[in-house]
């Protein structure tokens, strides 16, 4: 499924560069020029991320951002604030607003696309792999761990010569499996990002 992104910015040039960088089929971009319209569009679009200019007519970015975070269904949406180069940020109004990044215009559109992808993926990806969660959970929670400590550490009275080596081998195997899975995830993400960049370069030509 494409990443659903709301771009709330009244600048035609910003809209154009974002639409070029956030192109289909990876992104579905909805451009909006007015703060009130941005608020009204949230329920209809249910975005994965919002690119929000702090300077908007009707309702500015501070107000739209606070509304977004006040709604439980949108709290996991990525929120990137866009500011004009010569417009100061109102630190008082920004305080307490749960945003992911502030980006100054003009910006590198490809870098912004990568940033949004990373933010959305981070919010959607569990903090640990399922295997790690199973290892850490107790069987009392209704899920049997993949590796039970009892399998590795026999009671002192029954421990035989060589059991300590077997215990270390099994522990190393478990650690190696988790390490490989982490590395595999990193490589897949890097490959996808490289392919996406190549595709963008071809589209520009």
User: Where in the chain are the domains?
Assistant: 3-124, 130-204
Q: Which of 27, 18, 30 is nearest to 109 (CA)?
A: 18
Whether domain 3-124 has CATH 3.90.180.10: no
* Strand arrangement of the beta sheet that strand 3-8 belongs to: 27-32, 3-8, 49-53, 78-83, 101-104
Confidence of residue 198 (pLDDT cuts 50, 70, 90): confident
Pairing of strands 101-104, 78-83: parallel
Q: Quick one: pLDDT at residue 46?
A: 94
Q: Quick one: pLDDT at residue 23?
A: 85
Q: Quick one: pLDDT at residue 133?
A: 44
Average pLDDT for 87-106: 90
Terminal CA-to-CA distance of the chain, rounded, Å? 26
In whole angstroms, how large is the CA radius of gyration of the chain? Answer: 24
Examine the pLDDT at 104 and tell me if it is beyond 60: yes
Alpha helix positions (H), the chain:
12-21, 35-45, 61-70, 91-94, 109-124, 130-136, 149-152, 163-204
Confidence of residue 146 (pLDDT cuts 50, 70, 90): very low
Q: Is 154 helix (H, G, I), strand (E, B) or coil?
A: coil
Examine the pLDDT at 178 and tell me if it is beyond 70: no
Dihedral over Cα of 104, 53, 10, 17: its sign: positive
pLDDT tens track for 129-144 = 444 444 344 433 444 3
Length of the chain: 205
């Amino acid at each position: 499924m494409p990443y659903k992104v709301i771009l709330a910015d009244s600048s035609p040039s910003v809209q154009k560069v974002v639409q070029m960088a956030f192109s289909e089929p990876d992104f579905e971009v909805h451009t909006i020029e007015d703060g009130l319209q941005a608020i009204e569009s949230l329920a209809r679009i249910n975005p994965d991320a919002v690119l929000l200019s702090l300077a908007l007519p009707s309702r500015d970015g501070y107000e739209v951002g606070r509304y977004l975070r006040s709604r439980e269904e949108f709290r996991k949406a990525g929120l990137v604030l866009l500011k004009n180069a010569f417009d100061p940020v109102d630190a008082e109004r920004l305080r307490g607003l749960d945003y992911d990044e502030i980006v100054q215009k003009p910006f590198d559109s490809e870098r912004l696309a990568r940033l949004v992808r990373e933010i959305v993926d981070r919010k959607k990806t569990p903090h640990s792999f399922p295997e790690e969660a199973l290892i850490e959970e107790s069987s009392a929670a209704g899920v049997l761990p993949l590796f039970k400590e009892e399998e590795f550490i026999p009671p002192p009275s029954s421990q035989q010569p060589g059991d300590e080596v077997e215990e270390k081998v099994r522990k190393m195997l478990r650690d190696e499996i988790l390490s490989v899975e982490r590395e595999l995830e990193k490589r897949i993400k890097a490959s996808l990002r490289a392919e996406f960049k190549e595709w963008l370069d071809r589209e520009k030509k």
